[in-house]
Structure 1
């Protein structure tokens, strides 16, 4: 396991916590949109502080953004949809079921993106082994949902 595997593992461990934090915030705010906005605002503040720790690199990266294709700016919209979906759906279906469905959706889209090289991803053909892996994930979703 290298550092990138570790980062992914830690991110996976933190996602259920993020959902629980946001759900708790929604209990107090009474509004999933408000809680999502607060979640993004706190994250934005943390990223600003982190970025300002190295202002030269931050300024250079800002200058290079003009070269990004328009679709590259859509990540924030996807993130907003994810956050509000987690706040609305996970209290109804459970965090484990919600994340199992998220993982299934992520795997389907990942395989399609990489198979066709969409959005500039490296082309990695879909193989029977990958399809089997996806099928096992789908079985896992069914098992988690039934428990």
Structure 2
């Protein structure tokens, strides 16, 4: 049951990503893509601050002691969101999200195959190859 809830949460996260992409793309057409990305991050940072303030149980001060490569997530988040907002304004939400998912799956398979970035090793196999092929086919079907 717990795994089902986690899967459901991931599906909801994916759905919210598509909604965010559509909203960010629409905003980007009015204020500019980079400005839209900046706005989304500012609002997101403020919301996360409030949630962390009331519900956080970690140690934010430990941020200064972690390996520096652990801090690249923020930069990659900006690159991801900016490119997504730009692509949505040019090619639409559906094809942009399909391309994002293909990119995520391909790099995830590589990361897991080699156990990179602290990830457990999960070997590349035929099922994963078929998944990438089918996702690539879906890309052309969404076009």
Fold shared, TM-score > 0.5 on shorter chain: yes
Q: Which runs of 4+ in 1 moved over 2 A?
A: 63-67
**Partner in structure 1 of residue 124 of structure 2:** 126
Which structure 1 segments of 5+ residues have no match?
Answer: none
- Residue pair 2:28, 2:89 contacting (<8 A) in 1 also: no
Cα shift readout 1:87-131 (whole Å, capped 9, x = no counterpart)? 211121111001111111111100000000011101000011111
Residue 132 of structure 1: SS of its match in structure 2?
helix
**Partner in structure 2 of residue 110 of structure 1:** 108
Which structure 2 segments of 5+ residues have no match?
Answer: none
State the shift of 1:63 in Å: 2.8
**Partner in structure 2 of residue 12 of structure 1:** 14
Distance in 2 (CA, whole Å) between partners of 1:73 and 1:23 is 27
TM-score by length of 2: 0.92
Cα shift readout 1:66-99 (whole Å, capped 9, x = no counterpart)? 3321111111111111111122111211110011
Q: How does 1:1-147 map to 2 (within 5 A)?
A: 2-29=4-31, 31-54=32-55, 57=57, 60-145=58-143
RMSD of the alignment, in Å? 1.4
TM-score by length of 1: 0.89
